[in-house]
Copies of this chain bind each other. A is one copy, B any other.
């Protein structure tokens, strides 16, 4: 799900209207593909070019985009919903490494769960539609820093 055009097409196909607010919101998401933006963050990025758009509209747009499976909603352990554009390749959701020290989120685009999913399907008779995999730990930079200065 890559270009603005394709996304607008899908919105339209599902019976939603194309409004300037929605276009602008999608544009922000496209410009920040790796960022896991929260609704508030999308809103403040949006304000620079479109100060008239309201926060409620951002929430509603993100809901619509989640509903039609243009974006994934994800919660890291901080209680704030974040939104990621889905990739075009039909893959399941990518994985994340979250650093407990600096808070950085690293994305992993390989699907490492194929074998695990097969086991789940067979053992639990559970039909998997998506997954959320996050590793918590210490990133390379913080490990390096801790060796000289100690983890803050």
A residues with CB within 8 A of B: 73-77, 79, 81, 97, 99-100, 106, 108, 112-113, 115-117, 119-120, 124-140, 143
Dominant secondary structure at the A interface:
strand
Stoichiometry, as copies per complex, reads 2
Contact between chains at B126 and A131 (CB < 8 Å): no
List of B residues within 8 angstroms of A136 by Cβ = 128-132
**Listed A/B pairs (30) with beta-carbon separation below 8 Å:** A74-B77, A75-B75, A75-B76, A75-B79, A77-B81, A79-B79, A79-B81, A99-B126, A100-B129, A108-B124, A112-B119, A112-B120, A113-B116, A115-B115, A125-B140, A125-B143, A126-B137, A126-B138, A127-B138, A129-B136, A129-B137, A130-B136, A130-B137, A131-B133, A131-B134, A131-B136, A132-B132, A132-B136, A133-B133, A133-B134
Closest to A133 in B: B133
List of B residues within 8 angstroms of A125 by Cβ = 140, 143
Q: How far is the CA of A37 from the CA of B1 in the complex (A)?
A: 36
